[in-house]
């Protein structure tokens, strides 16, 4: 016999990051007591997003089509390629800077202990893009964490193998911080003051 619907709803809400038992319970009660229409919209949007959103063939960002709007845009500078850990990092850069190049989204960072190596991050696809010869500079915008720095080092070596200049955003990004939580002004300044990776 399956659990009652209320328990199933609470348990389903707990899949979200940072949502424990009490938070999930509060959300479920709110939807049922005060906002059933909002709950229906949420359920519909979630079902459609899970069904229709995939990954861009070129940059691995989330996309409803084979190639995302950024990669498909003729107004973007193909000589600049920015590598980020997550789609949230890509969005933070788009909102805070005037960067007009292209992106590559890793969906993580190198972490051998967790079984995340170059293949899991799509670095074979990144190497193919670099080998194509369009990119002249690769901006490595991984987070300034231990794993992010190790990933940046690996990416810099990969860029040099393909005669692409690696650079890194500088000034003001806190060590151990996450890009999506950095304020716009700091991120914009850091991006504008990037330096070549030694």
pTM: 0.78
State the pLDDT at residue 93: 93
Residue 27 CA neighbour count, 13 Å, CB half: 20
Q: Domains in the chain, start-ordered, CATH in brackets?
A: 5-52 (1.10.8.420), 62-196 (3.40.1360.10)
Report the C-alpha gap between 24 and 13 in whole angstroms: 5
Which contacts of 65-68 are long-range, i.e. CB under 8 A and separated by 24 or more positions? none
Count the Cβ atoms, other than its own, within 10 Å of residue 6.
12
State the pLDDT at residue 182: 73
Strands (E), 77-128: 77-84, 101-105
Q: pLDDT per position in the chain (198 positions), as tens?
A: 567 899 999 999 999 999 999 999 999 999 999 899 999 999 999 999 999 999 999 999 999 999 999 999 999 999 999 999 999 999 999 998 899 999 999 999 999 888 899 999 999 999 999 999 999 999 999 987 889 889 999 999 999 999 999 998 865 556 566 777 776 767 776 776 676 776
Strand order in the sheet with 165-168: 101-105, 77-84, 137-141, 165-168, 195-196
């Amino acid at each position: 016999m399956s659990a009652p619907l209320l328990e199933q709803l609470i348990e389903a809400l707990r899949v979200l990051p940072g949502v424990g038992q009490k938070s999930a319970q509060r959300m479920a009660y709110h939807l049922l007591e005060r906002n059933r229409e909002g709950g229906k919209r949420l359920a519909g949007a979630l079902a459609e997003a899970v069904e229709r959103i995939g990954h861009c063939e070129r940059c691995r960002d989330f996309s409803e089509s084979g190639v995302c709007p950024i990669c498909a845009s003729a107004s973007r500078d193909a000589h600049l390629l920015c590598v980020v850990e997550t789609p949230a990092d890509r969005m933070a850069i788009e909102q805070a800077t005037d960067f007009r190049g292209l992106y590559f989204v890793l969906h993580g960072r190198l972490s051998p202990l967790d079984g995340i190596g170059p293949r899991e991050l799509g670095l074979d696809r990144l190497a193919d893009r670099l080998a194509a010869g369009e990119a002249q500079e690769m901006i490595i915008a991984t987070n300034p964490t231990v794993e992010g720095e190790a990933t940046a080092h690996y990416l810099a070596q990969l860029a040099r193998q393909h005669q692409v200049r690696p650079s890194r955003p500088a000034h003001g990004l806190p060590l151990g911080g996450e890009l999506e939580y950095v304020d716009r002004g700091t991120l914009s300044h850091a991006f504008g003051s990037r330096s070549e990776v030694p």
